[in-house]
Amino acid sequence: MDKTHGEIPTLGYQKVLAQLRRKKREHLKLLQRLVAQPSISAQNEGVRDCAELLASIMEELGVPAQIYETEGQPVVFGEIGEGDLTVLFYGHYDVQPPEPLEAWTTPPFSPTVRNGRLYGRGTGDNKGQLLTHLLAVHSYLEVLGKLPIKIKFIFEGEEESGSPYLADFVAEHQELLSADLAYTSDGPLHESGAPAIYYGVRGMLGLEMSLETASWDNHSGNKGGVIPNAAWELVRILFSMKDEQGRVLVDGFYDRVREPSEIDLELIANLEYHPWQIAKNFGVKKINLEKEEFYRRLTLEPTMTINGLTSGYQGQGTKTIIPAKASAKMDCRLVADQDPEEVFSAIKHHIEKMNPEVEVIQQGYMHPSRTDPGLPVSQKILKAAQAATGKKPVALPATGGSLPDYVWTKILGVPSIIVPYANADEANHAPNENLSLECFYQGIEISARAIYELSKK
């Protein structure tokens, strides 16, 4: 293959685009093949088999692939092309557990097309989205026999389990992964259907607190009023951690939170805001926030969330007991420049002051990450998304969710941009996860256009 490189003429890009549109059926079959392979990292089901399948698909598409071992699940790496600029495409091939299975219309690993969507676990999160990049590259190779830039791929198998070993892998393979830009497609489009561009992510801290006040549950009459109730005590502690407006009351929680920049607020000001539509998409009755406050809370401010509470009897009928045990699982979404370890220490100190008998366990974390929206590469990706879709992208300082984006910005030291391709109602992590075929094909075209725009001097 001719390995010369350089800017691709417009006619060359148009030929690539035409090829993409001719091969939609083949692209769909390839996605179905990948989705049909289970890869549930939380249950260690099929993950290695999926890594091997993905590597073989990459080879079929003309991308030399290699599987790297980690202390957990394998990393699949690929590299092709030459050029003055290198893009590192990131994705994850592992998926969430599919339960409850009875809620699926068709089996989660039997990918099925219905009403213009492909249903199956991992369709949108993240197999369909990572595949778009490979298919875009393949079309360049098929049509032009070369790429205008150098492209690397890194696909991990534990994102749905918190990416516990990705940071170590990146730190140990910085030369292998060296790039000028990291590019991730994960998550949904804006609820309006417009393409979304995120210049960062919120970090995450997971924790669990538990309390045991007796050796067993006790009779609520015979012992009532004279022994402690684990459930009430846990609720008392939780109530002390936030006020009625949702502000966290833990000392030090907000110490490192970065103030929004002018460009951050400008990005928010340029957004359309339809709270009724957002409420519908979120499944709530209404959103009682003005636009700036809504997006500041969603992208620029940290959160503290109770994910689950467990205590006492919850079966049919009544059981008059004083619960002996209570626990809560929680997460905090963190923003630049918060440090997860510092936040955990502050929360643990707060709980210990309330009741030193409560056990607090950290359950993993991700650092927040941010990239300057004003960088030339940031602007080129923005232009690519608009040119490929004909719609003005929704650009935000950060996404409300969390990805291991910090491994690129903090460890590898490169800018990183997130460009989601899935439909807003993809139901990722839920039964009947799906990917709109229109979004899938559009994602391939955005990736192809991004390569074209990045090749321009």
* CA gap 106, 123 in Å, rounded: 13
Domains 10-201+369-455 and 203-257+301-366 share a fold: no
The pTM for the full model equals 0.88
d(CA 32, CA 34): 5
pLDDT tens digits for range 281-308 = 788 999 999 999 999 999 999 999 999 9
Distance CA 366, CA 204 (A): 5
pLDDT of residue 4: 40
pLDDT class of 7 with cuts at 50, 70, 90: low
Q: Is the pLDDT of residue 448 over 80?
A: yes
Q: Which of 413, 242, 259, 240 is nearest to 337 (CA)?
A: 259
- Return the CATH architecture of domain 203-257+301-366: 2-Layer Sandwich (3.30)
SS3 call for 300: helix
Question: Domain-by-domain residue ranges, the chain?
Answer: 10-201+369-455, 203-257+301-366
The arithmetic mean of pLDDT across residues 57-81, rounded, is: 98
Q: Quick: pLDDT tens for 188-204.
A: 998 788 999 999 999 99
Strand-strand pairing, 181-184 and 196-198 = unpaired
Across all residues in the chain, what is the average pLDDT? 95
pLDDT given at position 80: 98
- CATH number belonging to the domain at 10-201+369-455, selected among 3.30.499.10, 3.90.45.10, 3.30.300.30, 3.40.630.10: 3.40.630.10
Predicted confidence (pLDDT) at residue 360 exceeds the cutoff of 80:
yes
